[in-house]
Structure 1
Amino acid sequence: MAHIPNSGTPNDDPGGYVGLAADTAEERARGKGWTTVRRLAPGAIITMEYREGRLNLTVEEDGTVSRCWKG
């Protein structure tokens, strides 16, 4: 499949958000160009469709990000 320029998904490493406070992570993600930042509780039931420009954050009860992935 050919590369699609300006596809809407920032060139960003999701691993860099793990351990951050959720508010800090969301602010950073939006600053890097993510159009949607979705906060999820651990074990939340979610749809698995891929959405360009969306960053998913699993946020623990203490407010820190424990997992992060694109789509």
Structure 2
Amino acid sequence: MAPIPTPPTEPSDSPDAYVGLAADRAEHLARERGWSSVRALAPGTIVTMEYRVGRLNFEVRDGRVARAWKG
């Protein structure tokens, strides 16, 4: 019988830690901390809401992270 797969993990840091940072700095820091996917979105961008382990989303206004969330 095949072993039960281990679900992927994601970094344990809080998305709130990125709010207020310059977008490029926040993306660099997120990748250093182990986020496999980082996406920067303009305010009001329409996105699908499926949850992806390891993805960090940033809403960027005037070059700074205004909001951050997992998935």
Taking structure 2 as the reference length, the TM-score comes to 0.88
The number of aligned residues is 67
Rg larger in structure: 2
- Residue in 2 aligned with 1:70? 70
Q: Unmatched 5+ residue regions in structure 1?
A: none
- Aligned-pair Cα RMSD in Å: 1.6
TM-score normalised per structure 1: 0.88
Structure 1's consecutive aligned runs of 4 or more residues displaced over 2 angstroms after TM superposition are: 5-8
The answer for unaligned runs of 5 or more in structure 2 is: 1-5
> Identity of paired residues, percent?
61
CA offsets, 1:2-57, max 9 Å, x none?
xxx67331111000000000000000000000000011000110000000000000
| 1:41 matched to 2:42 | yes
